[in-house]
Structure 1
Amino acid sequence: MASAGLPRGLWGAVRSQLTPITFKSSIPSIASPSTLRAFSSTSARSIRTVTPRPQAFKLPFFTPSARSTFFYPSHAFIFPRSITTAPSLPEIPRSLPIWLYGCSALVFGIVVIGGVTRLTESGLSIVEWQPFKGVIPPITAAEWDAEWEKYRVSPEGLIFVIPAAYYVARYKLPKPIPAKLALIGLGIGFQGFLGWWMVKSGLDQEIVETNSVPRVSQYRLATHLTAAFLLYLGMLSTAIGIQRDVKLFKNPGIVSQLSLPSVKKFRGMVHGAGMMVFLTAIAGAFVAGLDAGLVYNEWPLMGGRIVPPTDELLDEHYTRGGTKSILRNFLENPVTAQFNHRMLAYTTFGLVVALPFVARKVPFASTRRLANLTAAAAVTQVTLGITTLLYLVPISLASMHQAGSVVLLTCIMALGGSLRKPSRMLKHLRR
């Protein structure tokens, strides 16, 4: 039956162009005969005009199962009935990483002061370790007189323990963070024990009876320095990790770039350079413990040769039982210890100064800047080491050289942090 208001031929042409419209809804189809008759009175011009169908309106985190559809002859709008809330980071105060940076700076200062203590040979002035008594200062005049000539134990542990307990109790921190804070707190206590253990090695009964110059064991000195470095890096890594996760959460587009081949290659190179810097610094502890900086005060040769004579590198005098143990010479022979430190420094320096050239292919400008800064720190550190050796280990240069090793480790840690992938906490939130 032809529609009123349209010629029979024109209505047939329009009807032949119509196709059934199928909607996933309980509402009757819009192409029913009653609906067509309702719109048959519209002018032929308006019917021929095809209005483009807009795309469905979608929002992030949209729930497709809960939606309502409003139908119009040439339009379909989809409105979500429920929109889920975007996941958010757990409650992490901004002051938390800042406080960790402050604690790491305190450890940095303690490492430098420890180096000065070793160089001035004043570490053996403390012959007792009382971690609880030293926290409370003397009250009476008699106590002040008794403690006047003694060093009081520094309460740096409380600077970490009390704020850490506050953050854990006050805020709902992600699970990895409280565990890391607890581990750092245990490390502080263990570091204090290692300091006492190191000093005790210089008060051996044989040294006292023979009235010899007291010296601490180079093994215990290296252990004490290693623990200090690990404590410092633990605080620094935790602070960098927190800020990195917040940045990746706010800028998720960076995550995909972290999987690029150039980024993966450079990340592995940074990790290798960091391990070499750490190993070279620990080798320097054996040089300090053996006073190996006072032999072969020349550079780049050692006694006119690149490699010293074999009988000096493997000297029986510096080994136990008269055996030519290679390992014991590296750990007890001053000549071998200095040669080992030199070779490690050369290798580390070559690896670190190559970082800026490899970083050119990395798409992060901040990473390239940090690579340049790390290379500059390596050049400064090598210059300080050579100068310290040539000038017979003056206290000022030697202290700067030890501080330079911590600065170089800091630069490597910051460089690795700029390439850090999302932590387990952030991966869980992104699911």
Structure 2
Amino acid sequence: MAGKRAIFEEVGTAEKTAPRGGMIDARPRGARRGVMWWLIALFVLVVVMIAVGGLTRLTDSGLSITEWRPVTGAIPPLNAADWQAEFDRYRAIPEYRLQNSGMSLAEFQVIYWWEWGHRQLGRVIGLVWAAGFLGFLAARKIPPGWTARLLLLGALGGLQGLVGWWMVSSGLEGTRLDVASYRLAVHLGLAFVILGVIAWYVLSLRRTEADLMRARRAGEPALRRWTTVLAAVTFLQIVWGALVAGIDAGRNYVDWPLMAGGFLPPDPFQLSPWWRNFFEDDGLVQFVHRIIAYALLALIVAAFLRARRSPYRASRAAFHGVLGMAVLQMVLGIATVMYSAPWSLAILHQFGAVVLWVLVLRARHQTIWPRAQSLRDAA
């Protein structure tokens, strides 16, 4: 039992104890900053991978390596005999017989290096993920609740490797000159899913767990619903862009806003059954890509107008960014079509899709977990 205080004892002379934090603050936070920078490195590598994949497609290099050897394939041909063996395997597929007959070994080596570089970059991404994950795991520095999320990222990367070979294998038999456009769309779509997951993780790791929990109570449900729609339509447009690339639909119908002088391309329903035309007819595929772009821009403008009423400056700024990038991406798309999709504009347009995708996800993150601000910022 504590002793009695003297009647004239001065108040405040007792030793004060430091205040204790709550349960959230008491938990080990792990190396949030370290994990964030590791993910940023992965993000940059995936963006480069998407660009290299696009150039591999534009240079018709994707079928130059006809085998899938995840480990030994990292070693390129080292002598004349190895090069001749690779070339002989390529000469056995339809692309060579029907399109590149007479190609020299030197010409083959150019497209081979593009595809080898694309696959090698995939291996590098896998190694960077594995080294980072195992390193943080061994050091017990993974933030609480993040182990499964980082494992999911690795699983998606492994799945992407399988999908890549599934795509390439579609062009090795029969009479195909390229990979199946459907499989190309799945491959590119999954790349953007991986990119989106990494971006989301980075946005979350930039802030403390306690900050996110406090911010969620101040979320903006109406704007969050808008960002759900924008993310879905943006992703659909990206996948449809892969269909355009898969059948070279961007190099036909180079007038705008009409197509061959009309609203619809001529003879848009030549294939049977009718639904195949939406995925395989070059005119109709490009037409649908244009219509989705118009719809997406209209939705972004509507969301922007709604976001202007947000009390959060960061939310308003996020939607400003989405609108600005959407307009720029529309201009890039029109220029790409009107100049018959040269590789420089095509890659720039694809990079624009990456930026728009990330900005839409950033706006969504902000509406779920608004950043705290001063009264002056709100005004």
Report the TM range for the smaller structure's normalisation.
0.7 to 0.9
- For residues 299-310 of structure 1, what are the structure 2 equivalents within 5 Å? 299-308=256-265
Alignment partner of 1:118 out of 43, 57, 61: 57
C-alpha distance in structure 2 between counterparts of 1:196 and 1:237, whole Å: 27
Output aligned runs, 1:331-410, within 5 Å: 331-410=279-358
CA change 1:330–1:141 in 2 (3 A) is: closer
Q: Secondary structure at the match of 1:103?
A: helix
Deviation at 1:135?
4.2
Counterpart pick for 1:193 among 145, 158, 162: 162
TM-score, with normalisation over the residues of structure 2?
0.78
Distance of aligned partners of 1:249 and 1:144 in 2 relative to their CA distance in 1, 3 Å threshold = farther
In the alignment, structure 1 residue 216 sits paired with structure 2 residue 216: no
Q: Secondary structure at the match of 2:368?
A: coil
Kindly indicate whether residue 137 of structure 2 is the aligned counterpart of residue 180 of structure 1.
Answer: no
Instruction: Find the residue that maps to 2:259 and give its secondary structure.
Output: coil
Contact kept in structure 2, 1:374 and 1:408, CA below 8 Å = yes
Q: Where do 5+ consecutive residues of structure 1 fail to align?
A: 1-25, 27-66, 208-212, 423-431
Query: How big is the shift at 1:413?
Result: 1.3
Which amino acid is the alignment partner of residue 356 of structure 2?
Answer: L
Question: Per residue, is there more helix in 1 or in 2?
Answer: 2
1:91 deviates by 2.6
**Structure 2 residues without counterparts, runs of 5 or longer:** 87-105, 371-379
Where do residues 43-192 of structure 1 align in structure 2 (5 Å cutoff)? 85-87=21-23, 88=25, 89-93=27-31, 94-135=33-74, 149=109, 150-151=112-113, 152=116, 153-154=119-120, 155-156=123-124, 157-174=126-143, 176-192=145-161
Which residue identity lines up with residue 86 of structure 1 in the other structure? G
- Asked whether the 8 Å contact 2:212–2:369 carries over to 1, the reply is no
Pairing partner for 2:241 from 281, 284, 291: 284
Deviations 1:92-131 (A, max 9, x none): 2111111111101111111111111111111111212211
The alignment's C-alpha RMSD in Å is 3.2
Residue pair 1:68, 1:79 contacting (<8 A) in 2 also: no
CA deviations 1:377-397 (Å, max 9, x no partner) are: 111111011011111111111
Q: CA deviation at 1:144?
A: 9.4
Counterparts of 2:74 and 2:241, CA distance in 1: 32
Matches within 5 A, 1:12-23: none
User: Which residue identity does 1:410 align to in structure 2?
Assistant: V
TM-score (norm 1): 0.69
Q: Select the structure of larger CA radius of gyration.
A: 1
When residues 139 and 125 of structure 1 are mapped into structure 2, their CA distance, relative to the original with a 3 A threshold, is closer
The one-letter amino acid of 1:332's match is: E
How far apart, CA to CA, are the structure 1 residues paired with 2:187 and 2:308?
A: 38
Confirm or deny: 8 A CA contact 2:221 2:368 kept in the other structure. Answer: no
> How many angstroms does 1:355 deviate by?
3.2
Does residue 298 (structure 1) correspond to residue 255 (structure 2)? The answer is yes
Q: CA separation of 1:76/1:412 partners in 2, compared to 1, >3 Å: closer, same or farther?
A: same
1:83 & 1:400 partners in 2: Cα distance?
Answer: 54
Amino acid in the other structure paired with 2:191: A
1:283-337 C-alpha deviation (Å, 9 max, x unpaired): 111111122123321111123332345xx2322xx33xxx3x33x2211221221
* Identity over aligned pairs, percent: 34
Give the paired residue count.
336
Matched with 1:6 is: none
TM-aligned CA distance change 1:125 to 1:83, over 3 Å: same
